[in-house]
Structure 1
Amino acid sequence: MDRIVLGNEEFEGRNNAYVLVDEGTDDLALVDTGVSTPEIRSDLEKGLAARGYEFADVDDVVLTHFHVDHAGLAGEIQAESDATVYVHEADAPLIEAEPDAVAALDERRRDLLEAWGVPDGPKDELLALLEGARAIEGEPADATPIEDGTVLEVGGTTLETVHAPGHAAGLCCFEIVDGSNGRAADGGSEPGSEAFVGDAILPVYTPNVGGADVRVDRPLEKYLATLRRIAGQEYDRVWPGHRDPIDDPAGRAMTILEHHRERTGNVLDVLREHGPADAWTVSAHLFGDLEGIHIVHGPGEAYAHLDHLRHEEIVEIEDEEYRLVADDVDLEELVSETG
């Protein structure tokens, strides 16, 4: 197993594509591919060439989720190699660019931007950005759907699928089954229990919840469950979709969970100090002025917390504004122990 670092400086930073090779058969698999831009395609081609391969040699592509910085090149690779592209069943229609699925995602986003109270100016800026980003989504791929527990045999490695929704509906981690691949990605000795985790946990940033995939119902609840599941796996090391490996995955998962406990407290403070508010107004108090993709990520994150508080009967919603109705809130129980 080896890692190609791609030059993307947007989103959460440098992307990773992981290379799995069966030394006996030369079967080649990639975990994630990067954005479909000439620069990133060149990065990936050069990384493969340095290892003696090209796109046409790829037998399998395993995608952690549908976001363009992870899946953008999957269709182009498949077109040159006839590779099998694996992705969770929730994300498969978007990888295949099914018109109904794409239209439903766009409609859901527009509806939520309206419900969150995003003003026309920022809303138009965001929608123009997203429309312009269609070009980096790449070519559609013929997807092979997988689900939680699916076992893949790719590149001489056995991967067990661990569904990890929250940041995206179909986000999956892929646990490396012990003994199936003998080298860690940094060239070290036999790994212990390890996994590819996509954007489920990241070493620097906290993955966006609520705005990154507007299809997710009760996004914060699902993401908190994902964090607890990763912490419970007790991996020795995980390989994220961005930046460097994480050597204390359980600790990192619990740090992100603590971050969301604090953010829930901050959301409650906004409602206490300023009264009923929509998600856009709450996000303005939390994050200040927003631009670019953060126009959906900011209120989406606020919404994820407000939605969680609503289901726990801490707030009520009327005319798209959230009003605090219970002030005796145990944040530890509400966030850390929910579910």
Structure 2
Amino acid sequence: MDLTRIPLGNTVFEGENNAYLVEGEVTTLVDVGASTETVRADLEDGLDEAGVALSEIDRILLTHWHSDHCGLAGELQAESDATVYAHEDDAAVIAGDDDAIADLHDLRDRRFREWGIPEDKLDELRAVQSDFEAVAGDPADVETLADGDRITAGDEELETIHLPGHAAGHVAFAFDRESEDPSEIGAAPRSEIFVGDVILPEYTPNVGGADLRLDEPLERYVESLDRLAARDFDLAWPGHRDPIDDPSGRARVIREHHLDRTRRVIEALREYGPADAWTVSAHLFGELEHIHILHGPGEAYAHLDHLERVGAVEREDFEYRLVDSDPDVEALFPNTKY
């Protein structure tokens, strides 16, 4: 596979983004970055360095609907006539469907009230979300993908793997790749994967606040981590920063992080009594600003929601209280074994 990672600047979201160029019969971009002039310039510079014109892009594969991954898709499609693909659970949002966008906004308003975010923090968060929506770019015409679908990129076939949690329609794209090391001629191909934001090299993807449409967000995410770890890929190409040499190991680290966070949520409820998601997030993270006003209580909510589903806490209105003061946290996550 003729693969080029194109780093993209990112002044709106956290962390540097990546787009991936796959050259061949079906010239393909995997993710495209936010719709800003600087990101567009970074992408064009990367294409120029690879000797590929924008008009030569045949296909755009999107890992999920967040603007820092799909913001440029609509305008690139208009200029290149590329076909844009995304998972069926994210396609309507990427396509700018009015009903899907309205439902998302209504859900946000309801969740923010349920979580107990103070009004002054809500004002700050709404300003941040306005900035995010400003880089969402033009809607794209989207062809849908489902788990297990196979699709060509360059001269290779990719396997679509649905890995929800960070986003409802988050997908990864797996492929086999021959080593470029002359000493490994004849060796078995390496198994590699474009993972978007399922796992990241330097921090943990947000769960709970990043996509409010998901039911059981933490359970779905841990299941995705288990599924990814079980495949034992040789290398992962993430949506932010550098490649990940041990994807299974990284997935296990993030899984353990969430078990530890579950323990901290239990400790907060045990020490401070019944609380809503905002109050628990304050005990976990302290003062929250900018996008963390969303991600903090969202993460707390994901863990509280899971604890309620497994019977470790009870909820009255939107306050949670412990039922079991010392649950076996490992037993609360009995998902796929590695």
Measured against the shorter chain, the TM-score band is over 0.9
**Identical columns (%):** 55
- Post-superposition CA distance 1:249-271 (Å, at most 9, x none): 11100000000000000000000
Aligned match of 1:214 in 209, 212, 215?
A: 212
2:50 counterpart SS class? coil
Q: Normalised by the size of structure 2, how large is the TM-score?
A: 0.94
- Give 2:20's aligned residue: 18
Q: Which residue of structure 2 aligns with residue 94 of structure 1?
A: 93
Structure 2 counterparts to residues 164-179 of structure 1, below 5 A: 164-176=163-175, 178=176
Of 294, 297, 300 in structure 1, the residue corresponding to residue 298 of structure 2 is 300
C-alpha distance in structure 2 between counterparts of 1:35 and 1:183, whole Å = 32
Corresponding residue for residue 315 of structure 2: 317
CA shift, 1:183, in A, is 6.1
Residues of 1 paired with 2:235 and 2:324: CA distance? 41
2:7 counterpart (5, 18, 25): 5
1:11 positional shift: 3.2
Aligned pair partner of 1:254 in 249, 252, 255: 252
Separation in 2 of the partners of 1:132 and 1:2? 29
Secondary structure of 2:237 counterpart = strand
Q: How many residues align?
A: 329
- Alignment check: 8 A CA contact 1:20 1:30 kept: yes
1:9 Cα deviation after fit: 4.8
Q: CA RMSD in A?
A: 1.5
1:334 CA drift (Å): 1.2
Preserved contact between residue 77 and residue 83 of structure 1 (Cα < 8 Å): yes
Match of 2:50 in 1: 51
Distance in 2 (CA, whole Å) between partners of 1:31 and 1:218 is: 28
CA contact (8 A) 1:315 1:323 kept: yes
Assess, with a 3 A threshold, how the Cα gap between structure 1 residues 133 and 12 changes in structure 2: closer, same or farther. Answer: closer
Rounded to whole Å, the distance in 2 between the matches of 1:199 and 1:95 is 17
1:116 aligns with 115
CA contact (8 A) 1:62 1:86 kept: yes
The residue matched to 2:20 in structure 1 has which SS? Answer: strand
Shift of 1:154: 2.0
Cα distance, 1:12 vs structure 2: 3.9
Shift of 1:69: 0.6
With structure 1 as the length reference, what TM-score do the two structures score? 0.94
Give the aligned residue type for 1:227. L
In structure 1, distance between residues paired with 2:293 and 2:43 = 30
Q: For 2:45, what is the secondary structure of its paired residue?
A: helix
When residues 183 and 57 of structure 1 are mapped into structure 2, their CA distance, relative to the original with a 3 A threshold, is: farther
Question: Are the counterparts in 2 of residues 12 and 205 from structure 1 also a CA contact under 8 Å?
Answer: no
Q: Is structure 2 residue 27 aligned with structure 1 residue 28?
A: yes
Name the CA distance, whole Å, in 2 between partners of 1:183 and 1:293: 40
1:96-143 Cα shifts (integer Å, max 9, x gaps): 000100010011011000000001111121112212332200110000
Q: Structure 1 residue 305: deviation in Å?
A: 0.1
- Separation in 1, partners of 2:272, 2:326: 18
* Unmatched tracts of structure 2, length 5 or more: none
Quick check: 1:81 aligned with 2:83?
no
Q: Deviations over 1:272-291 (max 9, x none)?
A: 00000000000000001111
Output the CA distance in 2 between the equivalents of 1:286 and 1:164: 26
2:239 corresponding residue in structure 1: 241
Structure 2 equivalent of residue 230 of structure 1: 228
- Alpha-carbon contact 2:12-2:132 (below 8 Å) kept: no
1:20·1:157 contact (CA, 8 Å) conserved in 2? no
| Paired AA for residue 60 in structure 2 | V
Which residue of structure 2 aligns with residue 61 of structure 1?
A: 60
Q: Tell me: CA distance 1:183–1:102, structure 2 relative to 1, closer, same or farther (3 Å).
A: farther
Amino acid at match of 2:289: E
Alignment gaps of 5+ in structure 1: none
**Structure 1 residues 144 and 17, CA gap change in structure 2 (3 angstroms):** same
